[in-house]
Chains A and B, each alone.
Chain A
């Protein structure tokens, strides 16, 4: 094993943020919420485009998608995680996380189960519209249970 050197560089971020002034944390958070609200509609429109693209890719890939299609499905689902949760669609974000996990497992095994992917995509449509707190808990439980079984359902 080679030698390791330990250095203690100054934290310049700490230095430049130490100056007085700036913004009150409460005001910063309020402003950030307003900024996000301003991009809600175009962001959700783009996310709906991702979901439509996911459905098209799943149909195109069929029972044995190429690695390129499987990767696109993974990447688009990852995009849905980021956008949905920011705009209070937390259940949709969780379902997209479950699809990423499922596809990651399928890719690492070199196997697939189209039905399991389709079930996730159907749930995206259901979860696209926010429900009451906990209303979709059984849907998410079902998706997570499917994902845990990836090795036994993949062919």
Chain B
């Protein structure tokens, strides 16, 4: 993803953004970033049914969803959006924001029809770069029985340049060799460190 030139301008004043996040702190952080970068019209939802209602009633240009919702299922929401045939909102670019994703749900995250995933912790530049990226995206949409969303034939080149993958088995991750550490032994060394 190319770096943004700080001298260039971005105009998000006409963007209608739907944010689905039921974590108060996470939603607060995203709201502060989104408003600072110039988005004037955003709909904050904390439940899937609220977000569905907004998607039906409003023309939405960008959707941001926390992948780890407490009360709703983020993947179900994006799958619903893609299959709902609401013009033009069903084709709106979606960005999923995730901290840790359960291994059992990684495939679902890939297959729910989202355009892009941002790893937490987010930063203003990471959010802005992704918004600019999806605004320029020309990927075709695939509609089939098993999948509706942007074409997934999209090369995975691992973590962005200069960013280490967080899982030791991430593509290109060059983590240290596995060493055997017992919780008790490590806890003792940690306690020593905290004391000293």
Contacts and interface: CB of A to CB of B under 8 A. Distances in A.
Interface of A: 2-14, 16-26, 28-29, 31-36, 38-39, 43, 46-47, 74-75, 77-79, 81-86, 90, 93-94, 96-97, 100-101, 104-105, 107-108, 113, 115-116, 118-119, 122-123, 125-126, 139, 141-146, 148-149, 153
B9 A82 contact: no
A50 to B, nearest CB: 9
Contacts of A94: 166
B178 A11 contact: no
Contact of A7 (B61, B140, B189): B140
Given A11-B93, A17-B14, 16 more contacts: A5-B142, A11-B135, A17-B12, A22-B10, A28-B36, A29-B6, A36-B32, A39-B28, A79-B25, A82-B23, A82-B122, A104-B100, A105-B103, A108-B103, A126-B193, A146-B181
Contacts of B61: 12-13, 16
A148 to B, nearest CB: 5
A19 B190 contact: no
A85 B121 contact: yes
B123 A22 contact: no
Contact of B143 (A7, A18, A23, A47): A7
Residue from A77, A84, A122 having most chain B Cβ neighbours under 10 A: A122
Interface of B: 4-15, 23-26, 28-29, 32-33, 35-38, 59, 61-62, 68, 70, 88, 91-93, 99-100, 102-104, 120-125, 128, 131, 134-138, 140-146, 151, 166-168, 175-176, 178-184, 186-187, 189-191, 193-194
Nearest to B187: A119
B36 A31 contact: yes
Given A4-B144, A11-B135, A79-B25, A33 B124 contact: yes
A8 B140 contact: yes
Contacts of B26: 79, 82-83
B32 A35 contact: yes
Contact of A75 (B25, B35, B68, B142): B68
